[in-house]
Copies of this chain bind each other. A is one copy, B any other.
Amino acid sequence: MPKSSTVNKTPIACTDHNHEHCIEEALIKAEQLCAKRGARLTALRRNVLRLIWKNHAPLGAYDLMDMLAEEDTRRVAPPTVYRSLEFLLDQGLIHRINSLNAYVGCHSPSDDHEEYFLICRECGVAVEVPAKEISRAIDKNAEAMGFTIETQTLEVVGLCPNCK
């Protein structure tokens, strides 16, 4: 079954899984990637990334500030967390969900991938889905209208398997 292995199935974020493993893996990947690029994953940035990965639902910047305050006993000001978010976005380690003003960990930060999000309006989980075909269709369409595309944002809201 060479093709059927790529068939969609229930995303891991919606299953009862070992989530500590998700976090661990994401942090290791991030460290490797930053090392390779000569980018500095500082303690603060690593912390922000870890907190973002704490669950599969996007987190707002001010949520992150609160969580940092709880852990560190020291209040962090908005610019601090926004700068970390900017770094993580630049490195492709997280994505921003515009419709939620929130941030979520990226599942394949090493690829230069096109992706979109299935967001559950009930539990908040955001599942990242590869968007290669869709993305290409959009590109082609836009090209025919004389547009040159630089970035695409596709966000889909509905109900996840658990919340139905």
Interface residues of A (CB under 8 A from B): 7-11, 14, 98-99, 116, 118, 120-121, 127, 129, 133-134, 137-138, 141-142, 144-161, 164
A98-B99, A151-B156 known; 4 other A-B pairs, CB under 8 Å? Answer: A147-B156, A147-B158, A148-B158, A151-B157
The residue that A14 contacts in the complex, of B133, B144, B146, B158, with Cβ under 8 A, is B146
CA distance A154 to B119 in the complex (A): 14
A-B CB proximity, top 8 nearest? A146-B161, A8-B144, A149-B158, A98-B98, A150-B158, A148-B159, A153-B155, A98-B99
The residue that A142 contacts in the complex, of B9, B138, B142, B156, with Cβ under 8 A, is B156
* Least Cβ–Cβ distance between A116 and chain B, in angstroms: 8
The interface residues of chain B lying within 8 Å CB-to-CB of A164 are: 146, 148
Contact B150 A153 (CB under 8 A): no
* Least Cβ–Cβ distance between A119 and chain B, in angstroms: 9
